[in-house]
Each structure stands twice: as structure tokens, then as C-alpha cells.
């Protein structure tokens, strides 16, 4: 102990007499010692904030009369007295020791070099380097509450390492406080000021010059910005053009992010820019589709062509419910775009972005995707083409005027009046009206014939079940083949579901509500009731009837009949007492009921059901919406694929097609379908692969987060597979009951199914074989949407240029929400 004290004493004599900017190896810097950067701008040493009495190792401005700390090493582990010392080892590691010699903070450099150097630079960066200036560690990688010139904030996409600011807890306590400034990677990246997990302020996406929602932070003669977004990193940095200026960006105790510069005349810090600066800077002040203008009273109004969702509360100044379109969107009707000028671009977390896409091509992409709400070119420099699409309600918008940007929001065509093609449309309408009379006459004849046929069938309604269906819809499919679909009368269904009571309601999707019921003979049923307000329900209803009435397989849900009476359209299915697969998978308690034998049985059953659709049914059918909620489980946990509202059929040797109406669900759509509208049997194979990996991991591909990287579930599993650590992805409870070789084979098959290129994915016939035998499996290639910001596809449509994207699967997959 005496030896340590002597060492500390000698080193303190060195520290007090030294003006070096380096820390010699094994010569500890004690509490009374400091080092100063070569230009004299920054000093490193020990300090006590306020009146706390606790000691911290930190860096502060040396030539500023008000001690302004910019970095704290041990912010969460204070020293109780002045006995601490900073030591630099021969291995190149900085260690902070307390009086008893215990390490309370360390730089933890992983690389080792000979003759390492620990140096405080004139930028305020404490670095550990080798002789040729390669950094082994630097304090700039671990910011406290201050963002200095030359420091980079952001994310390393290869490692997932993040650099962000976090406020002090109080003026006397530099430990991590409530507020942080981080770059959010969901959708198109954008910085946020966060209050814990709550958004406080949004800087908006980078527009080529600065962050779009912070026009006051544009480059000036005194400083400039550098923003990098590529496959390896996203980073933001600013530099001073005048080296004599002292500047800092600090996260204040109250959550205000402030850029300030030192004023030698007043001997104080002058704040130049602070955000949030006014009430309109507060995130989501006017909620969805609300426009905030701090110069108005009240500050919130709805965007043009929108109206308050709750007019009464809105008039009282309660804007929490936001605004809605005056005319709802209907993807089956014509939609157009209205241009809104000079605004703060909405929250981009649920968005998709691609470089090299013209504004016209961007409009076309948004038009053909039902769930696309708006588009814009985020780049204001005029040097780059770019396309940004939004796939959720538009949130956090404010009026900026000339410093704002333009956005094109999708509206019903009736809201925009006559277009430039109005005269042509009027001419077409006139011609159609001329033919309408003839058409009505023909329809009247058909109606009278159908009425006679319907009257003959009507007598069966009172018995509860009919024998055959009438022509339910005026479609080619129903005309070509009459469907053997038993009919139920409305009274029977109403009685079976207790008048569609809430206690009988099983759930609700894009089609409408689903109810449990019981017929008079005791048979349990599930009733899908088409919502009369559903925008897409009628087409889905037709699709479901046409397909499922023709399908008979133990792994497909069985259609028992239908009800078409007045405005009511309902489908009656066999009841599945064990609900849907997602009801088990993603519930902490229920997931334990799915042991490995049950999971294996479910995976194989789903595979056989899809194989039947692709190969063995009367028509080749592509489901297009395979997901856990569309896999129902019967009494014996047999899986049954349901919901064929999105399905498409093919004849002969056809295996796929193109569509301009991309439909599906977040996280399950294949890359080629999501990006270009190309769907095939391999699209279902991709969805099946996602299902398999979700079953084994009990985690959703959609919204998957990992602390060590930015990949989705597919990418995470692929990385572990390549490293031979595939069992780490398996749910802990599932490992206890599993056959390790069978589970590893299932993961392997799942990865083969989710490969980026559809040509690389196996057919469902091969999948069934691979799951049920010991055939040798090929190595999987990179999965689709690999990296949360992956390339969508290697091939571009004719209307767009190829370019890198910064999109994750959350941003593009749910194009027809269900």
C-alpha cells in the first residue's frame, strides 16, 4: 500500500510540473494533476460538479473562464474523495483507480500494440493510438452531453455501435439523465431528442444541406456539416471554419439541444440555436395530418382537404386525435396527389427511400401501392434524384414557408376537382351514358331471370341450410363454374352468433369482423361478416368464395357455406378452437404450450398445405398473405391455412405474374413482390420461411431489434447460422423439448426459403422433402431485406433507376394493411 502511495505521490509531482498533452505509461495522473492539449484549448483532469463533493475525471475548455465540462469518463461511477488516479498501461488501456486501487472505469481497448500513446488532442478528443496515428480508442466514441466540432454522432451499421448524447441528471450529477439525442434508423434515418422513450423533438431527415425539420441549423460562414449515409455507417459531424472560435452543442438538463459559442467580451456562452424552440417543435403537437404554425392562434389546423377527427375537442384546443381525410381513400377508385408547399416533412420512421428515382417515377410507385400515403424528394440540392414514400399516417408536420419542403399527399380524386384530363373524361362519360340505357335494359332482363332462380332457392333459407348457391357475384369465375356452396339465411347466422354479440367476436381484419357461433345441430362455426364500409372487402369476399369452395385439404380451413341476403355477405367456416398460430407464438405464457413436437407438426402441416395450393389443387394458387394470424389451429393443433382474400390462381404451367396493386403484410412479403409487384409460388415460399423462423425464435420479423446490430430477424438468424451458433436463436423454452438436429434442419430450410433471389429458393415440394428426410441441404445465400436498410432488389423496374435504398422491411411490406 505504501508503494502505491509513493507512486501516486511521485506521479503527482510529475503531473503538477508537466504541461504535456500525453499520459506516460505507468505514471498515474492523480487528482491534483492535469494535462493540456497542444494548442491549449482543452484540459483533462479531476473535478467536482456544483457542490456535490464527488470527483469525476473529465475534459473541459481550458481558455474559457466558466468551467464547461464536455466529457466525463466515470459519469455513473463517481469517486468519493481525491484519492483517485488515471493510469495508462503498457497494453494501451486507460484505467481510473480509486484510493484502494480498484478499477472504476476503463477504456477497454481490445487491440494491443507496442509503445501506445495516450494523448489529449486540441479537438477535445482523448485518444489512445499507436506510433502511426491509428486510434485504438477515443473519447469521441463515448460522448456525454456535449457534441464538439469534429465529433461524429450516429451508428456503425456493421457492428451496431451507436454514438449519441445524453443529458446530465442535474447540475451536481453528470450521470445519465432523462434526455438524449439519437439518430433513429427506422425507415429513412432522422435524429430525435428523446425524453426516455418518448419523442420530444424530431430534426427530420437529411435533405442534402441540413436536417429538413431544422432550417435554423443550416450551414453558416462559421461552421459546416458533414452527413454520411451508406451501407457501413450513418454519421453526422460539424466543423468550425474559424479555429479561434469555441463552440459546442449540448443536451441541456431540460431537454433543449443548444448550439452555443463563447463570447470573450461578455465572458459567457451565447446560444445561437436551440431546439425545441417553440410549441410547434414539440413532436406531434397537432397529431396526424395536423399542420402546426406558431404564428397562428390557435397554432394547429388541419391540412387542406382534411378535417378534425373530433371537431368538438379540436375546437376546445384538444388536438390529440388529429385530422382525417374529408373523403376516405379507396384503392378501387381513382386517387390523385395534392402538393403541399413549404412544410416540415412528416415522421419518416414508416417510410421507404431510394436514390436515383425521378419524382414522376416516385409518384407512380406510390400510386400502385395501396398503403402509400404520400411521396416527396427529400433532397433540396437539385443534384440528386430521390424518392421517399410514407406508409402510415403523416405525423409531426409544421409550416415552414420558404425554408420548408414540398410533399405530395394522396387524396380521393373527388377532392381535387377537374384535372387537366377533365374534358376527355366528360367525353368518355357522355359516351358511356349513351350506352347505359342499352346496358340497363339487358341487366333488367338478366335480373328478372335471376329473380326467378333466387325465388326457387329462397325456400331453403327457413331450413337453415340450402343445397346450392345462386350466382353470388357477377364475375367470370362464378359464371364459368357454379359453386356447390350451401346457403344459410341471415336469421340462422344471427341466432347462432347471439345476434353478433361482442362476447362472440373472435377478431377483426381488413375484411370485417369474425364471430363464433353454434348451429341448432350443435356444430360450432366461425362467421366472417363483410363490413359494408370495407374498402376492399367485396373483392376479397369474392376471391375467398371462388377459391376456398374448390379447395379440400386437411391443412386448409374448410368453408361450410355462405349467406347473401340484402346487403349482408357472410362466409361460414369450421370453428378452430385453438385460435391462430400468432395467439400462441407471441404470448409469453401461451408459447410454452408449443413444444418441439407440436412445432414440427405445425411446420410440416403448413408446408403440405402450401404444396397443395401450388401443385395439387385444381388451380395453381398463390396465397400472397401467409402469416401466423392466417394459420388456424384445430382441437388437435393441426394447422389450417385461412384467409384467401389476397390469393391469385393460375392455369397450366403459369407460376407467377405482375401486379400494380401490391398487397400483403409487413415482414412476410418477398423483396421482388414488395419492390416490383412480381409475385410467384416463390413469394409464398419466402413467407413460409419467415413463418418457420418466427415459430422457432418466437420473435416477429417485423420490428425485430437486436442491441448488437441493425439487422432484421432473417439477417440475425443468417449471421448466427454462418457462425455455427444457430441454437442461440431458438426460444429458450423450446430448446428444452427439441431434437437439436431437427431444429437446426428446420432453421436451415427456413433460411433457404427466405433467400434474396426467388430462383435460389426451393419449391414447396422440395421443402416438404427436406423437412421430412435427411437429404443434403445446400448452403443458404443472403436473405431478403438483409440489414435493416437492405437493397430491395437487384433488378429495377423500367420506370426507375437503380439505386441504393435505406429502407427496412417495416417500411415497405405492409402495403395493404390487414
Give catalytic residue positions.
625
Helices (H), 346-469: 359-367, 422-458
Residue 516 CA to residue 523 CA, distance in Å, equals 11
Q: How many residues does the chain have?
A: 818
Residue 289 CA to residue 499 CA, distance in Å, equals 37
CB 700 within 8 A of CB 667: yes
> In which region does residue 289 sit, left (phi positive, over 0), alpha (psi from -120 to 50) or beta (all else)?
left
Strand 42-47, strand 233-240: pairing? unpaired
The residue assigned the cell 414447396 is 764
**Nearest one of 377, 368, 373, 389 to 673, comparing CA atoms:** 368
* Burial bucket for residue 43 (CB in 10 Å: 0-12, 13-18, 19+): buried
* Helix, strand, or coil (residue 491): helix
**173-178 own/partner pairs: CB under 8 Å, 24+ apart:** 173/49, 173/52, 174/49, 174/56, 174/58, 174/69, 174/72, 174/75, 174/144, 174/145, 175/75, 175/76, 176/75, 176/76, 177/145, 177/253, 178/255
CB 59 within 8 A of CB 150: no
**Nearest one of 170, 194, 174, 169 to 184, comparing CA atoms:** 194
Query: Using the 8-state DSSP alphabet, how is residue 612 labeled?
Result: I
* Helix, strand, or coil (residue 449): helix
* Helix, strand, or coil (residue 592): helix
DSSP of 30-52, one letter per residue?
A: ETT--EE-TTSSEEEEEE--TT-
CB 690 within 8 A of CB 701: yes
Residues 6+ away with beta carbon under 8 Å from 95: 86, 87, 88, 89, 103, 105, 106, 107
Amino acid at each position: 500500500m505504501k508503494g502505491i502511495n509513493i507512486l501516486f505521490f511521485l506521479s503527482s509531482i510529475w503531473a503538477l510540473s508537466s504541461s504535456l498533452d500525453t499520459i506516460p505509461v505507468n505514471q498515474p495522473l492523480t487528482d491534483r494533476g492535469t494535462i493540456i492539449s497542444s494548442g491549449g484549448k482543452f484540459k483533462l483532469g479531476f473535478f467536482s460538479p456544483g457542490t456535490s463533493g464527488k470527483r469525476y475525471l473529465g475534459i473541459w475548455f481550458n481558455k474559457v473562464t466558466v468551467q464547461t465540462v464536455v466529457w466525463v469518463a466515470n459519469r455513473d461511477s463517481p469517486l468519493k474523495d481525491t484519492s483517485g488516479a488515471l493510469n495508462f498501461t503498457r497494453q494501451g488501456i486507460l484505467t481510473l483507480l480509486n484510493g484502494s486501487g480498484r478499477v472504476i472505469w476503463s477504456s477497454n481497448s481490445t487491440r494491443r500494440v507496442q509503445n501506445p500513446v495516450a494523448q489529449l488532442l486540441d479537438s477535445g478528443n482523448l485518444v489512445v493510438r499507436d506510433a502511426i496515428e491509428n486510434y485504438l480508442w477515443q473519447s469521441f466514441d463515448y460522448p456525454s452531453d456535449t457534441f464538439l466540432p469534429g465529433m461524429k454522432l450516429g451508428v456503425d451499421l456493421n457492428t451496431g455501435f451507436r454514438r449519441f448524447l445524453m443529458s446530465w441528471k442535474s447540475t451536481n450529477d453528470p450521470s445519465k439523465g432523462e434526455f438524449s439525442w439519437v439518430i433513429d434508423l427506422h425507415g429513412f434515418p432522422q435524429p430525435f431528442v428523446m425524453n426516455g422513450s418518448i419523442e420530444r423533438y424530431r430534426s427530420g431527415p437529411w435533405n442534402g444541406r441540413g436536417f429538413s425539420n431544422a432550417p435554423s441549423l443550416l450551414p453558416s460562414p462559421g461552421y459546416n456539416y458533414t452527413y454520411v449515409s451508406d451501407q457501413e455507417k450513418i454519421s453526422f459531424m460539424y466543423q468550425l471554419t474559424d479555429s479561434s472560435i469555441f463552440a459546442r452543442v449540448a443536451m441541456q438538463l431540460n431537454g433543449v439541444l443548444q448550439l452555443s459559442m463563447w463570447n470573450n467580451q461578455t465572458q459567457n456562452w451565447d446560444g445561437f440555436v436551440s431546439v425545441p424552440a417553440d410549441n410547434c417543435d414539440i413532436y406531434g403537437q397537432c397529431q396526424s395530418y395536423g399542420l402546426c404554425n406558431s404564428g397562428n392562434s390557435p397554432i394547429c389546423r388541419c391540412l387542406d382537404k382534411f378535417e378534425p377527427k373530433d371537431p368538438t375537442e379540436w375546437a376546445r384546443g384538444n388536438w390529440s386525435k388529429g385530422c382525417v381525410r374529408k373523403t376516405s381513400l379507396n384503392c378501387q377508385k381513382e386517387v390523385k396527389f395534392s402538393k403541399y408547399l413549404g412544410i416540415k416533412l412528416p415522421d419518416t420512421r414508416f417510410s421507404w427511400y431510394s436514390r436515383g428515382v425521378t419524382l414522376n417515377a416516385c409518384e407512380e410507385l406510390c400510386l400502385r401501392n395501396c398503403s402509400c400515403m404520400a411521396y416527396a424528394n427529400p433532397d433540396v440540392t437539385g443534384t440528386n434524384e430521390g424518392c421517399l414514400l410514407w406508409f402510415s399516417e403523416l405525423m409531426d408536420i409544421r409550416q415552414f414557408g420558404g425554408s420548408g419542403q414540398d410533399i405530395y399527399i394522396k387524396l380521393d380524386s373527388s377532392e381535387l376537382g377537374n384535372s387537366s384530363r377533365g374534358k376527355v373524361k366528360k367525353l368518355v362519360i357522355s359516351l358511356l351514358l349513351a350506352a347505359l340505357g342499352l346496358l340497363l335494359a339487358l341487366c333488367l332482363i338478366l335480373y328478372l331471370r335471376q329473380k326467378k332462380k333466387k325465388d326457387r332457392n329462397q325456400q331453403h333459407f327457413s331450413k337453415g341450410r340450402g343445397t346450392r348457391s345462386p350466382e353470388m357475384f357477377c364475375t367470370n369465375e362464378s359464371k364459368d363454374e357454379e359453386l356447390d356452396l350451401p346457403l344459410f339465411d341471415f336469421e340462422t347466422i344471427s341466432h347462432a352468433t347471439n345476434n353478433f354479440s361482442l362476447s362472440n367476436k373472435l377478431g377483426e381484419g381488413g375484411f370485417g369482423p369474425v364471430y363464433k357461433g353454434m348451429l341448432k345441430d350443435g356444430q360450432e362455426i366461425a362467421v366472417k361478416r363483410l363490413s359494408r364500409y370495407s374498402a376492399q372487402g367485396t373483392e376479397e369476399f369474392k376471391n375467398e368464395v371462388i377459391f376456398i369452395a374448390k379447395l379440400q385439404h386437411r391443412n386448409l380451413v374448410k368453408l361450410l357455406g355462405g349467406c347473401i341476403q340484402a346487403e349482408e355477405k357472410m362466409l361460414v367456416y369450421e370453428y378452430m378452437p385453438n385460435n391462430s398460430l400468432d395467439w400462441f407464438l407471441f404470448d409469453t405464457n401461451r408459447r410454452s404450450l408449443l413444444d418441439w413436437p407440436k412445432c414440427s407438426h405445425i411446420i410440416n402441416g403448413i408446408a403440405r398445405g402450401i404444396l397443395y395450393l401450388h401443385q395439387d389443387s385444381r388451380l395453381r394458387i398463390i396465397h400472397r398473405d401467409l402469416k401466423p394470424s392466417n394459420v388456424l389451429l384445430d382441437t388437435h393443433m393441426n394447422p389450417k391455412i385461412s384467409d384467401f382474400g389476397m390469393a391469385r390462381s393460375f392455369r397450366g404451367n403459369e407460376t407467377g405474374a405482375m401486379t400494380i396493386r401490391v398487397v400483403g403484410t409487413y415482414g412476410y412479403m418477398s423483396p421482388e413482390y414488395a419492390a416490383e409487384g412480381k409475385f410467384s409460388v416463390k413469394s409464398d415460399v419466402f413467407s413460409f420461411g419467415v413463418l418457420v423462423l418466427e415459430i422457432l425464435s418466437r420473435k416477429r420479423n417485423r420490428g425485430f431489434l437486436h442491441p448488437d446490430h441493425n439487422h432484421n430477424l432473417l439477417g440475425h438468424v443468417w449471421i448466427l447460422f454462418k457462425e455455427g451458433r444457430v441454437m442461440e436463436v431458438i426460444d429458450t423454452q423450446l430448446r428444452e423439448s427439441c431434437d437439436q438436429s431437427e431444429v437446426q434442419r428446420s432453421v436451415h430450410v427456413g433460411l433457404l426459403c427466405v433467400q434474396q433471389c426467388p430462383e435460389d429458393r426451393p419449391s414447396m415440394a422440395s421443402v416438404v422433402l427436406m423437412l421430412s428426410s435427411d437429404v443434403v441441404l445446400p448452403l443458404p445465400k443472403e436473405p431478403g431485406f438483409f440489414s435493416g436498410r437492405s437493397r430491395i432488389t437487384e433488378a429495377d423496374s423500367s420506370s426507375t433507376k437503380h439505386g441504393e435504398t435505406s429502407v427496412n422491411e417495416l417500411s415497405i411490406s405492409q402495403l395493404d394493411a390487414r
